[in-house]
């Protein structure tokens, strides 16, 4: 290499030093600046000449002096490099975090230190990020420790890395004891496969979290029902590092649900038995009633006018009571049938249904001189015969409960909602006491107005049972004057048993 090559290499080196974003310095063995690169302007706000001949110790943060002195001493005593992080004061007064790498230049003959060369860079942003990360981690750990629900960090192998006190209480174990186990060890076998399948989806990124009701084994052996919510913390490349589990004890809720399910099952069985009894009893009652009714008719046919008037009156009263009992038995049979017979679902035009009912009720409508207003009605998926029974009961009630002092008006209205049709049968009759709005839908219960009019007291109960089986509902409102019965039917087919 000729002298020109050496000069070019030196020029390139100087150019590199001048444009470096790091602060490159040469120091006397005591640390005094011998050379300072132009990087001092951007990093410390000083011109290089302002630092020459000065000791950097005057710029160091007092709390960092021990660490700097130890690094300084190490680089003087050893031949290897020394790295230290510390705070140094900027010319404008604020503190900068620096990371400095130092090495010595020694006399080849004596081994004595001639200079210390340093390369420094500003790591304030990194230190700030580290501090924020530590603070965030500390906040998380404080939140985890004081959380009212169980919380844990779970290793990729299922081990309990960290657990809070609440989780230890839920599972009846100590934190060191849990760290000797995996969540697989404590999971009920019937719940393990579903939990592992969801965890695998979470692991490969198909889902970002999941929730699962599962059972754990308590330390004393009993089952603890918990709601598990799980997610993963991932590294910068997106790979899973560890899982975060939130675990709530829902054992009491599950026990209440089980009790409710058992009670509902018992109630359903009891209702079914009552319905079967009502069906059998009603059927069995018809035969003796037919006989009694026939005998009464026979007595009146053969001996009318020959019996004392009071005897004929008694027979007529028995005749009327027998008719009422027939009506009650028929209504009871009807309620039993709509409660347990399978629904025969078809496409039903409610306009045709209402027209059929009004044809059947024609004599009553004419006798009452009733004015009818029927809106266009929808088509639904339902059991036509049962919906016909609903309209027959509601329209017959409106005719029966008319007011003697005004002409009866009956309106049938349909309104569409998002998922349901709402249908209303409204009249201007005698109405009812608002306190009876719910009582009227119970079998054999009537409003005060119903007591005066008569009837079996089963019609509205039958309507409610039909509509509930169709996935709908029914309610009554007292108006001034009259009453309105509103019921709903789903637009989509979703019938109940």
From 3.10.450, 3.40.50, 1.10.287, 3.40.190, which CATH number describes the 255-337 domain? Answer: 1.10.287
Plot region of 455 (φ>0 → left; ψ -120 to 50 → alpha; else → beta)? left
From 3.40.1670.10, 3.40.50.2300, 3.40.50.300, 3.30.565.10, which CATH number describes the 344-490 domain? Answer: 3.30.565.10
pLDDT tens for residues 108-166? 888 899 999 999 999 999 998 888 878 877 887 787 888 889 999 999 999 999 999 99
Coarse DSSP helix, strand, coil percentages of the chain, rounded to the nearest 5 percent: 50, 25, 25
Please report the pLDDT score of residue 183 as a whole number. 95
Beta strands in 257-378 (DSSP E): 345-349, 371-374
Please report the pLDDT score of residue 18 as a whole number. 63
Among 115, 92, 131, CA closest to 29: 115
Distance, CA of 282 to CA of 360 (rounded, Å)? 25
Please report the pLDDT score of residue 287 as a whole number. 66
Residue with tokens 């409204």: 426
The beta-carbon contacts of 413-421 under 8 Å, at least 24 apart in sequence, are: 413/375, 414/350, 414/375, 414/376, 414/377, 414/378, 416/378, 416/491, 419/490, 419/491, 419/492, 420/472, 420/488, 420/489, 420/490, 420/491, 421/378, 421/380, 421/488, 421/489, 421/490, 421/491
| Predicted TM-score (pTM) above 0.85 | no
pLDDT 10s digit of each residue in the chain, 497 long?
455 555 566 565 566 666 678 899 999 999 999 999 999 999 999 999 999 999 999 999 999 999 999 999 999 987 678 999 999 999 999 999 999 999 999 988 888 999 999 999 999 999 988 888 788 778 877 878 888 899 999 999 999 999 999 999 999 999 999 999 999 999 999 999 999 999 999 998 899 999 999 999 999 999 999 999 999 988 888 888 889 999 999 999 999 988 888 887 887 776 666 666 666 655 666 667 677 777 777 877 787 777 787 877 787 777 777 766 666 666 666 666 666 667 788 899 999 999 998 998 888 888 888 899 999 999 999 888 888 888 988 998 899 888 888 999 999 999 988 889 999 999 998 888 888 788 787 766 555 554 454 545 678 888 888 888 888 999 998 888 899 999 999 987 655 54
Beta strands in 288-408 (DSSP E): 345-349, 371-374, 379-383
In the chain, CATH 3.30.450.20 covers 3-122, 131-249
In the chain, CATH 3.30.565.10 covers 344-490
Answer yes or no: are the C-beta atoms of 191 and 214 closer than 8 Å. yes
Please report the pLDDT score of residue 231 as a whole number. 93
Please report the pLDDT score of residue 300 as a whole number. 74
Superfamily the domain 3-122 falls into:
PAS domain (3.30.450.20)
From 3.30.450.20, 3.40.50.720, 3.30.830.10, 3.90.420.10, which CATH number describes the 131-249 domain? Answer: 3.30.450.20
Please report the pLDDT score of residue 17 as a whole number. 60
Kindly tell me the sign of the dihedral angle through the C-alpha atoms of 315, 317, 323, 328. negative
In the chain, CATH 1.10.287 covers 255-337
Please report the pLDDT score of residue 296 as a whole number. 75
3-state SS class at 204: coil
Among 246, 227, 231, CA closest to 199: 231
Please report the pLDDT score of residue 494 as a whole number. 54
Please report the pLDDT score of residue 316 as a whole number. 77
Please report the pLDDT score of residue 79 as a whole number. 64
């Amino acid at each position: 290499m000729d002298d020109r090559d050496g000069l070019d290499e030196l020029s390139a080196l100087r150019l590199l030093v001048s444009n470096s974003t790091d602060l490159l310095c040469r120091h006397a063995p005591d640390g005094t600046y011998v050379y300072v690169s132009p990087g001092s302007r951007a990093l410390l706000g000083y011109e290089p000449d302002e630092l020459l001949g000065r000791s950097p110790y005057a710029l160091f943060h007092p709390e960092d002096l021990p660490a700097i002195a130890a690094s300084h001493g190490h680089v003087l005593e050893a031949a290897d490099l020394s790295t230290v992080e510390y705070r140094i004061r900027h010319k404008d007064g604020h503190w900068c975090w620096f990371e400095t790498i130092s090495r010595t230049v020694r006399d080849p003959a004596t081994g004595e230190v001639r200079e210390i060369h340093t390369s420094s860079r500003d790591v304030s942003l990194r230190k700030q990020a580290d501090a924020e990360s530590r603070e965030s981690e500390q906040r998380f750990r404080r939140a985890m420790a004081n959380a009212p629900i169980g919380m844990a960090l779970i290793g990729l192998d299922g081990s309990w890395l960290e657990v809070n006190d609440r989780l230890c209480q839920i599972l009846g174990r100590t934190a060191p004891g849990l760290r000797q186990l995996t969540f697989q060890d404590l999971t009920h076998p019937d719940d393990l496969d579903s939990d592992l399948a969801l965890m695998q989806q979470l692991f490969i990124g198909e889902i970002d979290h999941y929730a699962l009701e599962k059972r754990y084994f308590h330390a004393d052996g009993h089952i603890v029902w918990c709601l598990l919510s799980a997610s993963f913390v991932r590294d910068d490349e997106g790979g899973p590092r560890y899982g975060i589990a939130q675990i709530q004890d829902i054992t009491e809720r599950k026990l209440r649900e089980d009790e409710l399910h058992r009670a509902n099952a018992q109630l359903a069985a009891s209702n079914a038995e009552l319905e079967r009894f009502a069906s059998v009893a009603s059927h069995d009652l018809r035969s003796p009633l037919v006989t009694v009714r026939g005998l009464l008719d026979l007595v009146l046919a053969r001996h009318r006018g020959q019996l004392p008037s009071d005897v004929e009156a008694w027979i007529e009263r028995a005749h009327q009571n027998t008719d009422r009992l027939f009506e009650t038995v028929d209504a009871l049979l009807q309620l039993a049938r709509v409660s347990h017979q399978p629904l025969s679902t078809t496409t039903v035009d409610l306009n045709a249904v209402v027209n059929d009912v009004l044809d059947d009720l024609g004599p009553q409508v004419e006798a009452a001189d009733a004015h009818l207003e029927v809106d266009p009605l929808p088509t639904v998926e339902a059991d036509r015969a049962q919906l016909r029974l609903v309209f027959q009961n509601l329209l017959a009630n409106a005719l029966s409960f008319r007011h003697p002092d005004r002409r009866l008006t009956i309106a049938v209205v349909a309104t569409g909602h998002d998922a349901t049709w709402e249908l209303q049968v409204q009249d201007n009759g005698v109405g009812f006491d608002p306190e009876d709005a719910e009582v009227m839908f119970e079998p054999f219960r009537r409003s005060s107005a119903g007591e005066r009019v008569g009837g079996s007291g089963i019609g509205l109960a039958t309507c409610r049972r039909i509509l509930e089986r169709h996935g709908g509902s029914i309610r009554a409102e007292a108006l001034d004057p009259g009453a309105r019965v509103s019921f709903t039917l789903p637009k989509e087919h979703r019938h109940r048993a």
